[in-house]
Structure 1
Amino acid sequence: MTDVGATMLTEEAGDWAGEPVAALREHWGRESVFAFDRIPSTNDLARELAEAGSPSGTIVLCRQQTAGRGRAGRSWASPAGAGVYLSMAFRLREATVPPLVTVVAGVDLARELNRRFPGLASAVKWPNDLMARERKLGGILAETARVDGREAFLVVGVGINVESGRLPDEVDGAVALADCVGPARLVDVADAVVAGLERRLPRAPTSLDAASLDELDRLDWLKNRWVEHRLSDREPAVGLAAGIAPDGALLLRPRGGALRRVVAGSIALGGS
């Protein structure tokens, strides 16, 4: 473990969102729950803990991230008390299949949040966003940790906007859970996140079966919308989002062209 990681562990908090960490450990059935008031990134610390030997299912959460990030290194606003910022590390049994990991996590998180917070109606935006009321509710970041030179752990970080009044003014296009269903306790949202991540990620699938594809189809926010696919410096490709393949690839139907698979790059609405 780096000196930074070791220093962070000396700053563990005794509670998180008003709940004693000891109670969280008992509720989630593990000792490897680490809570902090303020750290750079829950994913970074979860990865360090995994590389240092922490068990599968280790949880890191905090009230505020100072260097939270999303996909492709984009910054993720994580103001104190405004949301749930939580990462989990799972021991890998076989190689992961990007972007299937974030698609699976997104479906299971949306399913669990919708079950616990009636009226939320969250959905999954390929490849790693959670949407509600046509705006961004949360995001997912999946990374791997290496031990002895091989990928040994999957580290998945989740950020969920909970309290809208605490989100920075510069955060555009976001929505908070409280905007959709009223006040919610951070600890209840965190519990939904843990349950969602633990549904399938401990044995992350490499392909989706018919039942999983049906569930994904119902939660697919992009399906039947015109989108722009951007990849590096290339001209954006415009097409109709036609669903998601069993391996997590986005299916895109360009105007007058054959169906194509998208496994990387960014997707935005537009081009109709």
Structure 2
Amino acid sequence: MDFPLSSQLVNRLDYVSSTGSTNTDLIAAAAEREDLSVLVAGHQSAGRGRSTGRQWVAPEGSSLAISVLLRPSAQALSPTSFGWLPLLAGLAMARAVGKFIPAAEVSVKWPNDVLVAERKISGILSELLPDLSGVVIGAGINIRQSQDELPIENATSLAIELGKPEALSNDKILVAYLGELRALYSRFVASGGDAIASGLRDEVAERCGSIGRRVRAMMPGDQEITGNGVGLDETGRILIQPDGARELFAVSAGDIVHLRHN
């Protein structure tokens, strides 16, 4: 499969029809790859989600698995700022999806699940390189699945939202995502990894559907809190005002559930 448009945006783009995990493959090859190298697969058999034991599975040819190596120079970014990179990827994917579904409500559930009217269309998993020099950002996007082919009921695909899967071009979808990601990444690097000074924190927060609503945060160690999502701190953690508490609680890792009641 060719990606003539997408290939122009990055330093290297490789495509495989099927693999176990694009993240695993790109991490293994990272020593021989430049910043903004991309690996795309039409199908992966061992795709992983952010939670331990959770897999991302899709029928062959129905989706794209995309992994991007982000490895800025040591002078440009400190590894302490890498936590923003998956958040920027979530924003990039939300903006890309919004180019195909302009009338839909496209948002991000913190940290980086992309939703269309509260139904998941894309998920993102970032993994730190062993030498701490950068990260690999893995993204999966549902493209041609029917509702019966999706792994969970509360999910959707571009084909479902558009109603015409034959009109979908993998290259146009990929170039939309990579174009947004490259632009956000360039701004972040140019600012020295300062998401506040660059305005990127505000842009991520504006698209984050977990802010300004009631949420439940389920964290490691079976810890849970319920309250209102109120913003993001300087490191990208979501800030929650817990029920009955005055102080804000910063969540750095965990699953966020959007609650329907106020």
TM-score by length of 2: 0.84
Q: Which residue is 1:62 aligned to? A: 41
Match of 1:128 in 2: 112
**3-state SS, counterpart of residue 152 of structure 1:** coil
Structure 1 CA distance, aligned partners of 2:155 and 2:8?
30
Q: Percent identity?
A: 25
The aligned runs of 1:55-94 (5 Å cut-off) are: 55-73=34-52, 74-93=54-73, 94=78
Q: Which runs of 4+ in 1 moved over 6 A?
A: none
Which secondary structure state, in structure 2, belongs to the residue aligned with residue 127 of structure 1?
Answer: coil
**Residue 215 (1) aligns with residue 203 (2):** yes
**1:235/1:47 Cα in 2 relative to 1: closer, same or farther (>3 Å)?**
closer
What amino acid does structure 1 have at the position aligned with 2:87? V
The structure 2 residue matched to 1:38, chosen from 11, 18, 31, is: 18
Give the letter for the 1:207 counterpart: A
CA contact (8 A) 2:46 2:55 kept: yes
Give the Cα–Cα distance (whole angstroms) in 2 for the partners of residues 155 and 165 of structure 1.
29
In structure 1, the gaps of 5 or more residues are 1-14
d(CA) in 1 for partners of 2:6 and 2:222? 48
Match of 1:246 in 2: 234
Question: CA 1:26/1:131 → structure 2, altered by over 3 Å: closer, same or farther?
Answer: closer
Residue type of the alignment partner of 1:124:
V
The count of residues paired between Structure 1 and Structure 2 equals: 248
Query: 1:233 and 2:212 equivalent?
Result: no
CA–CA distance in 1 between the matches of 2:235 and 2:67?
A: 23
> Which of 130, 136, 141 pairs up with 1:155?
136
User: Helix, strand or coil for the counterpart of 2:81?
Assistant: coil
Q: How has the CA–CA distance of structure 1 residues 55 and 233 changed in structure 2, closer, same or farther, with 3 Å as cutoff?
A: closer
Query: What amino acid does structure 2 have at the position aligned with 1:129?
Result: D
Q: Does the CA contact (< 8 Å) of 1:103 and 1:124 recur in 2?
A: no
Task: Report the Cα distance in structure 2 between the residues aligned to 1:56 and 1:65, rounded to whole angstroms.
Answer: 23
Change (3 A) 1:43 1:119: same
Could you say what secondary structure the match of 1:78 adopts?
coil
- Residues 212/170 of structure 1: CA separation in 2 closer, same or farther (3 Å cut): closer
Paired amino acid for 1:159: G
Q: Can you give the 5+ residue segments of structure 2 that lack an aligned partner in the other structure?
A: none
Distance 2:50 2:80 in 1: 16
Does structure 2 conserve the Cα–Cα contact (< 8 Å) formed by 1:223 and 1:243? yes
Contact 2:220 2:253 in 1 (8 A): no
Give, as a single letter, the amino acid of the residue that structure 2 aligns with 1:262.
Answer: V
| 2:146/2:159 contact within 8 Å kept | no
Q: CA RMSD in A?
A: 2.4
CA shift in 2, pair 1:239/1:38, >3 Å: same
Structure 1 position 25, deviation (Å): 7.1
Taking the aligned partners of 1:25 and 1:123, their CA distance within structure 2 comes to 24
